[in-house]
Amino acid sequence: MTKSKKSIIANFGLLATPAPETKSQEPPLSAPLPRVGAGVIGAAQRSIGELRDERDRLKALVESGAGGASTLDPALIDPSPFPDRLPDDGEADYAVFRRMIEEEGQKVPIQVRPHPETPGRYQAIFGHRRLRAARDLGIPVKAVVVDMSDRDLVVSQGLENAARQDLSWIERALFARRMDDAGIKPRDIKAALAVDDPELARMRAVYRTLPPALIEMIGRAPKIGRPRWVDFAKLYGEHEDSEARVTAAFSANAAASSDARFQLALSALKTPAEKPGSPVQELRSPDGATLGLVTASDKEWRLQAKSRDGTRFAAFLQARLPELIKEFMQQKQ
């Protein structure tokens, strides 16, 4: 248990303690370094100290789960207010996991907090699959109860997920969106996901462009990384009919996997939309035979022959054009 919790903190690179430097690591200097004011040094030291204090506080928070676990009724536990997972394509993996819990029991407790609004109930922090398995099997669930705020909940949840490293990129982005919508501060979102400012900006560019319902419709897309999601969001924002085009692609391939649904959506946006054509008029002889088609618009009109008589009619019309133009101008006057 202790080993796994150390790995959680080790993965939390944002708050990691910098390795001590030695003189052998320093490159030779060809010129003296410019002097840095004492105020700048003091501010940097305070900033590093605050990061270390925050890291130690979060470490203690995560390791508080090492204490005794309670046995709770799964019906009393609600999901986290900040869901970080999208549904899997199939239930095969979960079925194996549930059978393992049934045969071997729950070895690792989940972590919950008292529900902030409903006395006697709880909210899951992490361990949602274990909670679901216990509920399906009709057995109590082992849980460590920890008092924490929304901010600490998302950071703790993010640390746990960073240790497992099995969330897809879009699940992490969607987790960031839900924290953003709930008013969680950007620094805490970055701490929960162990990302920097540029990466959070890329996540925001995606989840502020794509509707949440569309992301949930595509699903986890575990093989689709950040670059393709960023490209997809750019394309989605360039077309007024993006939602209709993607929805049409899904309706024709309802059984596709999550990764395949992403590819369908991306292809639907890359395919040029059919432009509405100009009105087409069919030219027929008195006996009903087709001579040709006339396409007319504000900028262009075109005559297309569809038979031998149609070709002759085109030549006839071309020869009559000067006379027709003259007649037209007279009518105009």
Rounded to whole angstroms, how far apart are CA atoms 12 and 61? Answer: 14
Tell me the average pLDDT across 319-329.
87
Burial 131-167 (b: 16+ CB within 10 A, else e): bbbbeeeebebbbbbbebebbbbbbbbbbbbbbeeeb
pLDDT given at position 254:
61
Could you give the CA distance from residue 232 to residue 235 in angstroms, rounded to a whole number? Answer: 5
Has residue 116 got a pLDDT over 80? Answer: yes
Name every residue whose Cβ is closer than 8 Å to that of residue 11 and which is 6 or more positions away in sequence. Answer: 159, 162, 163, 165, 194
pLDDT for the residue numbered 146: 85
- Helix or strand run (H / E) with residue 327: helix 308-332
Contacts of 96 (CB under 8 A, 6+ apart): none
Cα angle value 230/236/238 (rounded, 5°): 110
Q: Residue 183 contacts by C-beta under 8 Å, 6 or more apart in sequence?
A: none
Give me the count of residues in the chain: 333
Q: Judge contact between 179 and 149, C-beta under 8 A.
A: no
The CB density around residue 170, as the number of other CB atoms within 10 Å, is 28
Specify the pTM: 0.52
Cα–Cα distance, 326 to 104 (Å, whole number): 96
* 244's tokens: 């209709």
pLDDT, tens only, 83-112: 767 766 556 777 888 999 999 999 888 889
Q: Percentage of the chain surpassing pLDDT 90?
A: 20
For the record, the structure tokens of 291 come out as 């001579």
